[in-house]
Amino acid sequence: MRGANSIGGCKGCSEPAGLELLKTYRTALNYALNRILSLNLRAIKDVHKALYRELVEWFGLPSRVAIDCYRDALANAKTWRSNPSRGRRPRVRKLSMLLHQGSGYRIRDGYVEITGGVKLKVIGWDRRYDCYPSGEARLTYKDGEMVLWVSKRIPKPESYTPRDVVGVDINEEKIVYGDESINVEKSTGIGRAEKFKVLAELLQKKYSSLRYPAWKRRRGILDRIRAFHMKAKNILVDNARKVAHEIVATAKKLGYAVAREDLTGLKESLRRLPKTHRTRLLLMGYSRIERWIDWQSLKHGVLRVVVDARNTSSECPKCDHVGLEEIGYRRLKCPRCGFEGDRDEVGKLNVRKRALRILGINGGALTPPTAPQMTDVNPNRWGEPPSPRGGTLAPLGRGGGQLMYVWVRIRVGLSASYGFCSLTFEWVELSF
């Protein structure tokens, strides 16, 4: 076994700095995970007694890294045990290492020093978060790129009492948001993303036969296919992030809250749809847009309301009559009061109307002054039970000393010849 001092990278090593430590950590993590499940260990003290000496002596892990390793393994074991549909025993395949602040890693004099002899040179940093203490971190390696995630505890922004609501309606092609006088339409980006998905599928089809899928064994073709899929994902993530930021920024500027639909159970309902439509909806990912709206609301101190999604596109936003008639392409008309509007606009107005009732706000051209308060919701239109968030307020912090956790994503440029890595700051994301 290698000693702890020989794990880090050095000049002339065949592998970049830190990569050998990550591989050793992954091997030790899988061993610890298997031992925890075999011995049915559940308490941290029992895990320490059974695994600490083995991880240090057999795998050559530094003391602090060994502790983090069995903590990581115990967390994975608890997650697998709590899964009612668990299958075979879990096995960690990704290169990822948990690091404890202080004894596991530290940032000093422009370098990130990791226990085990790995030294990373910092060439870029977001100074906005220098005044906040660093917590646990995770070092990862994927597709030739090493990334260090550092957790930070920052205070929540001060919230405010909203005077109205920005309703958000999400469909396959567009994201529509606004109130009775504001109507903004944004593309979901599914059209551009689908082109790269089709290119990847064409490559798979071209380099495949009934007997042998050659694309799985040809590294260049496989990398190209992965690049197309990654491009499609990046388009959707970037679009969701930008649109969510625009929605929340608009709401904060106007002093409004943000309301969206509870789309829990949508994935199960897609089985009844045609294959092409189902594929596009799965690729788009409604939950991705929802998460970015929730994160931006928390980040800016904007109140977020989740409403029941049932009948939002078939209910009249003016008189509450259910059963709008289609009079044209995506044009609906109420047979009772004569209200007419686009299908997406109707959905947006109904989301806003229901949020106003939950908040107890009277006003809005389409909201009756005597509207009853909505404090609960029925099961959604996909037949799933309502989630705890459905039809309820979801306040995201009051400020005044409350904290929230964020992860600072740091990109690491590997340098095998000199035995250190270069770091540049990328962006900040919420850890839900």
First to last CA, the chain: 39
Please give the Cα distance from 250 to 271 (Å, whole number): 36
pLDDT tens, residue by residue, 227-275: 999 999 999 999 999 999 999 999 999 999 999 988 777 766 666 677 7
Tokens of 415: 């340098």
Are the C-beta atoms of residues 396 and 403 closer than 8 Å to each other? no
360 close to 162: Cβ distance less than 8 angstroms:
no
Do residues 298 and 404 lie in contact, with contact meaning Cβ atoms separated by under 8 Å? yes
Interatomic CA distance for residues 149 and 138, integer angstroms: 5
- Structure tokens of 90? 């879990």
Low-confidence ranges of the chain (pLDDT < 50): 1-14, 364-401, 414-432
Other CB atoms within 10 A of residue 387 CB:
16
pLDDT score of 283: 76
Exposed/middle/buried for 184, CB within 10 Å: 0-12, 13-18, 19+?
A: middle
Q: pLDDT value at position 299?
A: 87
d(CA 257, CA 151): 28
Q: How far apart are CA 251 and CA 267, in angstroms?
A: 29
Domain assignments of the chain as residue spans, ordered by start: 4-152+404-430, 164-187+242-394
- Token pair, residue 130, equals 């220098």
The rounded distance, in Å, linking the Cα atoms of 355 and 352 is 5
| The pLDDT value given to residue 270 | 66
Per-residue model confidence as pLDDT tens digits over 33-48: 999 999 999 999 999 9
Instruction: For residues 61 and 71, give the distance between their C-alpha atoms in angstroms, rounded to a whole number.
Output: 14
| Ramachandran quadrant class, 91 (left: phi over 0; alpha: psi -120 to 50; beta: rest) | beta
One-character DSSP codes across 244-282: HHHHHHHHHHHTEEEEEEE-TTHHHHGGGS-HHHHHHHH
CA distance 326 to 201: 37
- Give the whole-angstrom CA distance, residue 321 versus residue 340: 13
